[in-house]
Amino acid sequence: MSVHEGTYAEILLPLALENTYTYLIPQDLVDDAAFGKRVEVQFGSRKRYAGLIVKMGVRKPEYRTKEIISILDTEPVIIPSQYRIWQWMAGYYCCTMGEVMKAALPGALLLSSETIIRAMPANEDDILQLGEPLYTLFRIIQPRTSITLEDLQKTSGLKALYPHIVKLYQLGMILVVEELAEKYIPKKIKLVGLSDEFRTEAGLQTAFDHVLKSEKQTNLLLGYLAIAGKELPDVDPKLILARAEVGKSVLQSLIEKGIFKEIIREVNRMDRYVKEGNVIETSLTSLQGSALKNIKDQWQEKEVVLLHGVTGSGKTIIYTEIIQEVIKEGGQVLYLVPEIGMSVQLLSRLKQTFGSKITVSHSRLNENERVDVWNQVMKGIPVVAGVRSSIFLPFQNLKLIIVDEEHDSSYKQQDPNPRYHARDMAIVLGKELKAKVLLGSATPSVESYYQSESGKYGRVELNERYQGLELPKVKLIDRRKDKSAAGSMYSHSLIEEIKTTLANKKQVIIFKNRRGYAPVLKCGVCEWVAECNQCDVALDLS
């Protein structure tokens, strides 16, 4: 969209507010303004925030508007399809767009202002006239270029700091300003490489002539060439020093001579899997092959398919086969899991298979790592394995969404807003981006199973375990008939089974939920449950 003088933009702020706000784009910024870029704006009398441009070229409002202070990004941080998803989420889950924005963007991209305090020039006599704690506060501020209000409070130890700051400001001894703090810090590494004039065969001979009198410097240059090879790339200095078995001072000497140069390079923290993945050889059973074909066939008519497979039926192998096909076609895949901690083996398998083609997104990443994941997805990394918040990532060519263990309650965001269900949002995301959705579970949720029964979703079943392994035997015990053993909370049947297992030198695990919690008041003889005399709700012990 072309912009002209007097162009206004609607800005979305990361606050729990219903509306966007209109700001004037200054003439010197109109060429850089674009949808999805973050801009620095003043909101209220003093606060500054990083808002998102969500609409441009709007009419001048009747009221006076503020100007955009600066544009923070060279490239948009969100794309239009993401914004449409945000709008749907805000309407469906009854929250504001600002709350969705705050949940969607990595924290390091959600900038807000910090109160910055700077000392003004002052006579020493005026300083000495200050009483406590004003004198101490000014002495803390004076030697610094600037200090945040938070750091000043920590340094001074004063709890009631604001009245004293106001007093110093009124005396003209300090300047109080609001500055936008950029939280994201790119990761940078230091490399060394040959200077340009020494990168030819003749140049290398000249370099060796320069270090001829120093055995250590010669060894260092030889060590670099052994690591670098014919291409002569920039190399981690630690590798060179270890290869040559010399100290840092030797490398510094070569840098001072101009033979080597230092290079600072920005890298993505999530580029951890530098090797290509090794495809794990697996052979689909006839049942798995049939299920895979059935899934593809049902995708011809339906956007969502439920894979109902018993535990150990090999659903992951089917997922891997489909992912590889999508990658070959140049598409992206979102693989959702309930919790990263519960899926260590699964993710390990995916990393081995897809290597540098996969990134992982979860709550244990720090804010800088989350921005790096965001940038990876924006650049089109093929596979993203992550938890529910991964649905907010800026996918460029999403073709498949897999929701593993779709019944799990961890997909539901409880607090704060937006209180969304990632499984349902995955289906909405798939519809928006025209991506296929595969729900997988051994015990599907009632909602998904009903949708498959009604014909809205497709359904494929795997009723046998991989390679014919037997399913565990399950026995239900009616406690009304099988009473507890004397002095025990366990039934006679359970105690006998435990004794038999231990006698066979095997182990037993007993799972007991709601430890120390009694949900109802129940008779131990007839199993009668006390209920409210006005309704059917059981009465608890509280």
Per-residue pLDDT of the chain (542 residues; tens, 9 = 90+): 444 457 899 999 999 988 899 999 998 899 999 999 999 888 887 788 889 999 998 788 888 899 998 888 889 999 999 999 999 999 999 999 999 999 999 887 877 666 788 898 888 888 888 988 899 999 999 998 888 877 888 888 887 776 788 788 878 888 877 666 666 667 778 888 888 888 888 888 888 888 888 988 998 888 888 888 877 888 888 888 888 888 889 889 888 888 888 888 776 665 554 444 455 556 788 888 899 999 999 999 999 999 998 888 888 889 999 999 999 999 999 999 988 766 556 667 788 888 888 888 877 777 778 888 898 999 999 999 989 999 999 999 999 999 999 999 999 998 888 999 999 999 999 999 999 999 999 999 999 999 999 999 999 998 888 766 777 788 888 776 776 655 567 888 888 889 999 999 999 998 877 666 667 777 767 778 888 888 878 876 55
Task: Specify the pTM.
Answer: 0.71
The two three-digit tokens of residue 226, written as one number? 């052994």
Q: Which domain holds residue 75?
A: 8-109
Q: Has residue 188 been placed in a domain?
A: no
Among residues 78, 109, 140, the one where a domain terminates is 109
Residues 389 and 462 in one domain: yes
Question: Can you give the length of the chain in residues?
Answer: 542
Among residues 94, 109, 124, the one where a domain terminates is 109
Q: Has residue 268 been placed in a domain?
A: no
Residues 343 and 417 in one domain: yes
From 450, 389, 395, select the one nearest 422 (Cα to Cα): 389
Residues 93 and 240 in one domain: no
Residues 310 and 435 in one domain: yes
CA 177 to each of CA 114, 135, 143, 145, 462: distance values in angstroms, whole numbers, following the listed order: 8, 21, 18, 13, 64
The two three-digit tokens of residue 349, written as one number? 């398998």
Phi, psi (degrees; rounded to nearest 5) at 189 = -120, 155
Q: What share of the chain is helix, strand, coil (3-state, %, to 5)?
A: 35, 20, 45
Residues 309 and 353 in one domain: yes
Phi, psi (degrees; rounded to nearest 5) at 498 = -65, -45
Tell me if 255 sits within 8 A of 226, measured CB to CB: no
Helix (H, G, I), strand (E, B) or coil at 375: helix
CA 197 to each of CA 119, 260, 310, 446: distance values in angstroms, whole numbers, following the listed order: 49, 10, 65, 70
For residue 247, what is the DSSP state? -
Residues 392 and 444 in one domain: yes
Omega before 418 cis (within 30°)? yes
Q: Has residue 187 been placed in a domain?
A: no
Q: What is the CATH number of the domain that holds 44?
A: 3.40.1440.60
Residues 304 and 451 in one domain: yes
Residues 297 and 408 in one domain: yes
Q: Has residue 281 been placed in a domain?
A: no
CA 64/CA 208 separation, integer angstroms: 70
Q: Has residue 41 been placed in a domain?
A: yes
Residues 295 and 434 in one domain: yes
Three-state SS letters, 472-501: CCCCCCCCCCCCECCCCCCEHHHHHHHHHH
Q: At what angle do helices 344-354 and 315-328 cross, to 10 degrees?
A: 30
Identity of the amino acid at 186: P
Domain count for the chain: 5
Residues 74 and 151 in one domain: no
Residues 350 and 462 in one domain: yes
Residues 104 and 119 in one domain: no
Among residues 445, 468, 491, the one where a domain terminates is 468
Q: Has residue 279 been placed in a domain?
A: no
The two three-digit tokens of residue 368, written as one number? 């800088």
Evaluate the CA torsion angle 522, 523, 529, 533 in order and state its sign.
negative
